[in-house]
Structure 1
Amino acid sequence: MTEADFAFLRLLLQQRSGLSLSADKRYLAESRLGILCRRRNIADLTSLIDQLRYGRNRALESAVVDAMTTNETLFFRDKTPFDLFREVILPERIAANAATRTLRIWCAAVSSGQEAYSLAMLIDDAAERLHGWKIDILGTDISAEILEKARAGVYSQFEVQRGLPIQMLLKHFQQRGDTWQISERLRAMVEFRQHNLLDPNEHFGRFDVIFCRNVLIYFDVPTKVKVLDLLSPRLFANGAFVLGTPETVLGLTTKLAADADHRGLHRPASGIVPASDRFMRREAVAGRRG
Structure 2
Amino acid sequence: MIAAGDYEFLQQFLKQRSGLNLSQEKQYLIESRLAPVARKVGLAGVEQLVARLRTAPSGAVADAVVEAMTTNESSFFRDKTPFETFVSFVVPSLIDRRGSRRIRVWCAAASTGQEPYSLAMTLKENAHLLPGVTVEILATDLAGHVLERARAGLYSAFEVQRGLPIQYLLKYFEQKGDQWQIRPEIRAMVQFRQFNLLQSFAGLGTFDIIFCRNVLIYFDIPTKADVLSRMAKVLAPDGYLVLGAAETVMGISDAFRSASGRPGLYVANRLAEATA
| TM bracket, shorter-chain basis | over 0.9
Q: Report what 1:239 is aligned to.
A: 239
Question: Is the contact between residue 140 and residue 192 of structure 2 (CA under 8 Å) also seen in structure 1?
Answer: yes
Distance 1:39 1:94 in 2: 50
Amino acid at match of 1:33: L
For residues 7-46 of structure 1, what are the structure 2 equivalents within 5 Å?
7-46=8-47
1:131 Cα shift? 4.2
Q: Does 1:77 align with 2:48?
A: no
Which residue number in structure 2 is paired with residue 174 of structure 1? Answer: 174
Q: Percent identity?
A: 49
Aligned counterpart, 1:226: 226
Encode CA deviations 1:222-280: one digit per residue, 9 max, x unaligned.
110111111111111111110001111112222110123311110011289xxxxxxxx
Q: Which residue of 1 aligns with 2:148?
A: 148
Note if 1:204 corresponds to 2:204.
Answer: yes
Q: Does 1:66 align with 2:67?
A: yes
Higher mean C-alpha deviation, range 195-204 or range 127-136: 127-136
- The runs of at least 4 consecutive aligned structure 1 residues that moved more than 6 Å come to none
Letter in 1 for 2:212: C
State the AA in 2 paired with 1:55: A
Residue 117 of structure 1 corresponds to which residue in structure 2? Answer: 117
Contact 1:209 1:239 in 2 (8 A): yes
In structure 2, what is the Cα distance between the partners aligned to 1:57 and 1:119?
A: 35
CA 253–190 in structure 1, closer or farther in 2 if over 3 Å, else same: same
Q: SS at 1:148's partner residue? A: helix
Q: Tell me the alpha carbon deviations over residues 200-241 of structure 1, each in whole angstroms, 9 at most, x when there is no partner.
A: 011111111100000011000111011111111111111111
Q: Residues 99-142 of structure 1, C-alpha deviation per residue, up to 9 Å, x if partnerless?
A: x3211100011100000000001111122344443321000000
Q: Which amino acid aligns with 2:51?
A: D
Question: Cα distance, 1:30 vs. partner?
Answer: 1.5
CA distance in 1, matches of 2:148, 2:4: 34
**Hey, what's the Cα distance between the residues in 1 that align with 2:187 and 2:144?**
17
Q: Greater CA radius of gyration, 1 or 2? A: 1
Q: Is the 8 A contact 2:90 2:240 kept in 1?
A: yes
Unpaired segments of 5 or more residues in structure 1?
273-290
| Contact map agreement 2:209 2:235 (CA 8 A) in 1 | yes
Secondary structure of the equivalent of 1:209? strand
Cα distance in 1, alignment partners of residues 170 and 238 from structure 2: 35
- Relative to the length of structure 2, the TM-score reads 0.94
Amino acid at match of 2:33: R
Task: Please name the residue that 1:216 is paired with.
Answer: 216
Cα distance between partner residues in 2 of 1:113 and 1:183: 13
State the secondary structure of the residue aligned to 1:139. Answer: strand
Whether the 8 Å CA contact 1:75–1:162 is kept in 2: the answer is yes
Say which SS state the counterpart of residue 128 (structure 1) adopts. helix
Question: Given residue 86 of structure 2, which amino acid in structure 1 is its aligned partner?
Answer: F
Amino acid at match of 1:59: A
Structure 2 distance, partners of 1:203, 1:32, is 32
Matched residue SS, 1:225? helix
Contact 2:75 2:114 in 1 (8 A): yes
The size of the alignment, in residue pairs, is 271
1:66-85 Cα distance to aligned partner (Å, 9 max, x none): 00000000000011211211
